[in-house]
Amino acid sequence: MAVSRRRFVTSVLGGSALAAASTTELLTTLASPASAASPPGDVVGKVTVGYQGWFSAPGDSAPIGGWWHWSRDRFQPPSPANTTIVSWPDMREYTRSYPTAYPNLGNGSPATLFSSYDQQTVDTHFRWMQEYGCDTAALQRFNPTGDEGPTRDAMTLKVRSAAERHNRKFYIMYDVTDWLTMQADIKTDWTTKMSTHTASSAYARQNGKPVVCIWGFGFSESSRPFTPGPCLEVINWFKAQGCYVIGGVPTWWRLGREDSRPGFLDVYHAFNAISPWMVYRTDTLEGLDSYYNNVNIGDMADCAARGIDYLPCVMPGDLAGGHRRHGDFYWRHIYNMVRLGSQGLYVSMFDEYNEGNQIAKTSETQATTPAGANIRALDEDGVACSSDYYLRITADGGRMLRGQLALTAVRPTPPTTGTPPPATGNLAAGRPTSASSQGDGFPSGNAVDANAGSYWESGGGSFPHWWQVDLGASHQVNKLVVRLPAGWGSRTQTITVQGSVDGGSFSTIAGASAFAFDPATGNTVTRTLTTTTTRYVRLSISGNTGWPAAQLAQVEVYASGGTTTDNPPSTPSGLTVTGKTSSSVSLAWTASTDDNGVTGYQVRQGGNVVATVTGTTATVSGLSASTAYTFTVVARDAAGNTSSASSAVTVTTDAAANADLARGRSTSESSHVQSYGSGNVVDGDANSYWESANNAFPQWVQVDLGSARTVGRVVLRLPPSSSWGSRTQTVAVQGSADGGSFGTLSGSAGRTFDPASGNQVTITFGAAQTRYVRITVTGNTGWPAGQLSGLEVYAS
């Protein structure tokens, strides 16, 4: 097995010297003219997850045979002494599993694992992607000429099938590690095997072009010894095939140091998009911020100056290494890359149980982890997390990337959902928080994290200020502990304690009183409260003798009698789409039941509430046109308990009025020459164009609108430059519902392109329902081939 790219670790950041070097580079790149980023497609504006799909087990029929990627010796079952994994998957949703030699789980059940070669496994993973807003999967492909090749070939078919079923996208991500014959082999592999999958409606396209990623050019490791010339030749070859090419590049690509070989800058700049590697580069929040300031800002400026899309890697952190901080590490990384203005996000990885940086469902506690095997579960730092927690964070990150969730440094996703955990210990730990304001760098979430030195501080302005925590469900609260950092000087804050079951109407639990913080007693104040059933606890602070703002380092909330006896409502069922427009989706579902009555429902997109209603219908507004959205519904009762989420529905909003229905869509053609592929007609670039084979009329180019649409007008363009002299092309417009049988929308006729009028032709015809629009060219007075730089399709 090849040395994994995941384990390569560079040196830590070089402090002020690095900052100075990065600043110089930043000023240089900012002096260059910037180009607009690509329009939204299947990677730009989207969340992509790296998908290994490389696990197999005896009996799964995989050609590789054995416990591939589960065991060091794949011919022996995985065990504590024979393993390649550091995290344990949550196995509850797999219909087929395979017994291992690990000890039984903590709850006594046998320790079993899945095989990626089972179609149900891949379907389960892609269903999770659909439910949690993972738009696109980058299917990892290593040297296919070895013994892993046949298994990887078959996995591509399984991934394609699952992506088509679950309305997800996928693309091929080549990893060149230890692939010494890469330059020739990768072209053969693409032309004879992988390119056939671009015919799938699920194959990712950007700017109308099939997406390919090449990971590993320029890395300084000996397992990737390539020189710049062959690398540049391979990139340009893929671009000549009409592909949009992403580069999985070293962290230090721009400066040519640390993990990057020098002399590769021309190679990196040849990519359409750049995705620098970040796994194992840091394990602290401070490290993420340092990379943001000293590396990512300069990277982004360099890419913007050259019209390269920036698709940075974000990571949940190594679970085995204790880096995750119950989601804070992952959210900080996502937040930094979104506030940077990144064109998209690449999550590493979806199913990387080998190195502990997976976001797929993972064992929650030692009860579902092999006993005594020293494998960390998601509650490794003492905070209970549901198995889907990192998928829910991903969903919120995608919403923030698309502007559907306000940019926030405070993680909005609670570690657990559904039935609340037992009311023992600090109920506020790791729970969602909010505040009336916050100073820069002092978010409200600091008051419920595990770091006693971090703190929330309100923003400027006069008192009062408030801070609150959502306990996740109603509890009978009777004790409050409030702390400031141990080294701070004495001060007194005047605090009122309030509670609410719905987060809207608050009542007083304890009136305003002085909380005296004294470093001699650990800067800790403990208050016994009148037992009150509440879900939301708010501290309203009207004064502080030590600083002109409210300050809280840790807030702990405890209950007397556990959770309320009120059970959560039943799960809503039958969620369906009843209507949609370009900016809204209407939903309906079957009512839930509850022992004390359902009070309302929340419609959720990912982990975020987008509508709250009392009935069983809702309309979600403010959506983007021609965009896929996934929704679930939960029920609420009077005590604030919430049901489990309903089954998800995914719907694509209608196109905006007068929008170009073809922009960025999938294309095909009868032929093309050199790099003038069909994707150029929908990429929005007036100067790139499709040109067919010469002297071989008729020729055609077509666009797949994704679904049947009512169309009545097409606009055809040639490059507007005056160097493109006037010419007349004989053109017919055809339409098809299935891509096989075409009917005529506008008959063959001469269409004159004149640079004096912008080199464009508009063709109108009777409104028709069609999915595929084909332009057939049978003559051209200016060149012996079909030529188009733009194919735009409109409803009327």
Angle between the N-to-C axes of helices 149-165 and 119-131, in degrees from 0 to 180, rounded to the nearest 10:
40
DSSP code at position 66: S
Kindly tell me if the per-residue pLDDT of 218 is higher than 60.
Answer: yes
Model confidence at 656, in pLDDT bands (50, 70, 90)?
confident
Query: In this prediction, what percent of the chain has a pLDDT beyond 70?
Result: 92
Residue 305 neighbours by CB under 8 Å, 6+ apart: 29, 30, 32, 33, 34, 35
Report the alpha-carbon distance of residue 639 to residue 642 in Å, rounded: 9
Q: What are phi and psi of 431, to 5 degrees?
A: -80, 160
Global pTM exceeds 0.75: no
Quick: pLDDT tens for 738-772: 999 999 999 999 999 999 889 999 999 999 999 99
Note the pLDDT of residue 424. Answer: 55
Note the pLDDT of residue 60. Answer: 94
Integer CA distances (angstroms), 251 to 46, 291, 400, in order: 21, 10, 24
Quick: pLDDT tens for 315-366: 999 999 999 999 999 999 999 999 999 999 999 999 999 999 999 999 999 9
Note the pLDDT of residue 16. Answer: 29
Tell me if 378 sits within 8 A of 319, measured CB to CB.
Answer: yes
Mean of the per-residue pLDDT values of the chain:
88
Helix, strand, or coil (residue 194): helix
Residue 136 neighbours by CB under 8 Å, 6+ apart: 42, 43, 46, 47, 48, 49, 168, 169, 170, 171, 204
More confidently predicted of 559 and 568: 559
Report the alpha-carbon distance of residue 454 to residue 637 in Å, rounded: 35
Quick: pLDDT tens for 492-540: 999 999 999 878 889 999 999 999 999 888 899 999 999 888 889 999 9
Kindly tell me if the per-residue pLDDT of 464 is higher than 80.
Answer: yes
Tell me if 697 sits within 8 A of 778, measured CB to CB.
Answer: yes
Kindly tell me if the per-residue pLDDT of 26 is higher than 60.
Answer: no
**Which tokens sit at 139?**
């299917």
Kindly tell me if the per-residue pLDDT of 796 is higher than 50.
Answer: yes
**Which tokens sit at 380?**
């490794």
More confidently predicted of 665 and 17: 665
